[in-house]
Structure 1
Amino acid sequence: MVLLVWWAITILGLFALSIGGPWILVIPVGVIGILVASNTIAVVRQTGPEHSALEPGRLQRADRENDPVAVAASRAPRRGANDKARRQGTLSYGRGRLTFVVHGQQGRADRSGPPDQTGDQLILDAVPAELVLGMRPTWLRPTLDISDNDVHHVIDFSLPSDLGSGGVGSVVAAAWFDQLVERGAKIAPR
């Protein structure tokens, strides 16, 4: 629905330009058009945050029926970390354990050599009872904050260019939050 609204805004902007509107509209219409196109591609490829959503009871079913769930996400060591600290990977839950695996060739370049070429790297591996979750995700904080043995993980399900990511990403993160609490994760005191 959000994407349709942005398509309408783009089309109205193009219409305004075509009937002789001010040339200053070229830049905003161009930027919005690029974002709308990239979001449409994410929807078609099914890589947007809405494809990471959990149906109610999904983690319980993963334990009961040995049916693990895995979704694409990004992980950062702290809130507000720059893009160099953010890593793409897979957040998964199965056999009673939550894991986050970073896929190879995302290492930063060392000053003296080439980028790290290691394979997949296990960043998080814990049972929910060992985890401490931050505040419940909201529209203003659309990430899942997890602490495991004093190691902080900020899991983000939305793409940086996603026009609806604040809303969709927070709903997806909140579903993971609620189901991890049901599986025994603790909530950090405020």
Structure 2
Amino acid sequence: MKTAIHFLAAIVMATLCSNVAVAQQNQGGIVAVVDIAKVFEAHAGHKAKMLQIEEEVKAFEADFKTQRQSLNTQIQALQALVGQPAYKEEEAKLARMDADLTIQANQKRAEIINREAQVYYETYTDVYATVARLAQSYNITLVINYDSAEIDPTNRDSIIKGVNRNVVFQRDLDLTELVIQQINAAGN
């Protein structure tokens, strides 16, 4: 009796497993590719935000350079006070100014790095949502990120980068240009 139950259970399991395998074979999904790096390069909103940050960095660097030159001029003028009672007080004041300037520069750099990271995050979520929307619209079940850049056979770094990337071959469905069009049309 136990042997019959085990045999019957084995037949039921084999039938269920074969049905699942057949169902999976019949459900072959559509696979597409997208070059996320290329999308980022062509993303008008991303470029505008990064350009704004770059301009802010240039303005900050110019201001920092001016303040640093002023401080250096004051330090040189301090040399004329060597041996006088006001020397130590003035030296301490300039040291504090130098430290404050360095702290301000470090804080600004950290702020800029965080803002850049936020811009990249926002751009990525925008691209992700667009890819998801397109995949849903065209019944695509899998989208793979790939690098469409050609390998330059005369450039060692390009060759190494190309050799180390995943091998992705997709004959027909490259969503990159469609994603770029949709993102830039939305005015992001």
For the aligned pair, the TM-score class normalised by the smaller chain equals under 0.3
Relative contact order higher in (CA < 8 Å, ≥ 6 apart): 2
TM-score (norm: length of structure 1): 0.26
TM-score (normalizing by structure 2): 0.26
Instruction: Name whichever structure is richer in strand by fraction.
Output: 1
Bigger helix share: 2
